[in-house]
Amino acid sequence: MEPSHVLLPDERTLHGSWDAARPPVLTVAPGTTVRFGTLDAGWSAGPHTGPATPAGLAARPRHPAHDPRYGHALTGPVAVSGAQPGQVLGIRIDDVVPGAFGTTYSGLRSTPLNDRLGVTADPVVHRWTLDAAAGTGRNQAGHTVALRPFLGVIGVPPAEPGEHSTIPPYRHGGNLDCRELVAGATLYLPVTVPGALLSVGDGHAAQGDGEVSGTAIECPMERVDLTLDLLPDLFGAPVTTPVARTPAGWVTMGVADDLDEAMAIALDAMLDVLAALHGIGRSDALALASVVVDLRVTQVVNQVVGVHAVLPRGALR
């Protein structure tokens, strides 16, 4: 479906925090397709050309709208007419096309993980040339990888007043960094505020589960087509954590301060999916999950951690 609206990253649409009081730049009816353009997470106006140092990172070219107080460069917000807290926002990802360049950083700041792995003393920057048509990315050392582009950040703001950081993911989305949210997926998020107020950004041309260096191939997105819908619930119940129907299968996500709690949240939601799909109780769902559901570490680098449970397509008939 061709998009009805186009939102480019500019002074009107760009922002770097979640805020329920931020007015929407666009209001659409449910079922509308919107084409978004995004910057990379760091508000870059072009490829990184400086040295692999914190100073070199700080000196990279930035979009004029960049505000150093803030986090990821987000495009939006988009309001959906009639959306009210307690409902479910369905976000169908129709197309994801990365820009021409990307960057991966490693060891540029001291963290417990970087220090343990011994990379803080030897920071590097991988500069990627991206070929969306061929589906490949190549760095300056000649390493070539397959692209699997997705948005790291898709979310709605917390209901609590004030500005909130874009760094940690939330139960209502945000910096999820789930690599399964590629074209063909539909993400379901709980609506937290009137209108929903969807914002997106943090393009990733490719990423492994965990995003272990703290960055993927961070890239602008040439276009991301999203069809926005509104549901009263999912499987007859409210959505309390991100849930997605993806090319890989059903995915449920948990974010928390530790992996055990994130795992429990993701698994709890997956039991609800299994029970609804197959008309079974939770004990039977857990037994079947132990046979066919995979638990994966989504990311370990964003203040809180993420786990997603995956029920592969065709695994349970």
DSSP string, 5-62: EEE-SSTTTEESSB-TTSPPSEEE-TTEEEEEEE--TT-BSS---S-SSHHHHHTS-B
Mean pLDDT per segment of 10 residues, for the chain of length 317 residues?
90 97 98 98 91 78 90 97 98 98 94 94 94 98 98 98 97 98 98 98 98 97 98 96 98 98 98 97 98 98 97 95
Q: Which residues of 62-74 are buried (b: 16+ CB within 10 A; e: fewer)?
A: bbebbeeebbbbb
Q: Are 147 and 98 in contact (CB under 8 A)?
A: yes
Which pLDDT value is given to residue 1?
65
Name all domains of the chain by residue range, CATH numbers in brackets: 5-233 (2.60.120.580), 248-317 (3.10.28.20)
Per-residue pLDDT at 53: 77
> What is the structure's pLDDT at 4?
85
**What does the DSSP assignment read for the chain?**
---SEEE-SSTTTEESSB-TTSPPSEEE-TTEEEEEEE--TT-BSS---S-SSHHHHHTS-B-TT--TT--S-EEEEEEETT--TTSEEEEEEEEEEE-SEEEEEESSS--HHHHHHT-TTS-EEEEEEEETTTTEEEETT--EEE---EEEEEE---SSSS-B-SSSEETTEEE---TT--TT-EEEEE--STT--EEEEEEES---TB-TTS--SB--EEEEEEEEEEES-BTTB---S-EEEETTEEEEEEEESSHHHHHHHHHHHHHHHHHHHHT--HHHHHHHHHHHPEEEEEEEEESEEEEEEEEETTS--
pTM: 0.96
257 and 304 Cβ atoms separated by less than 8 Å: yes
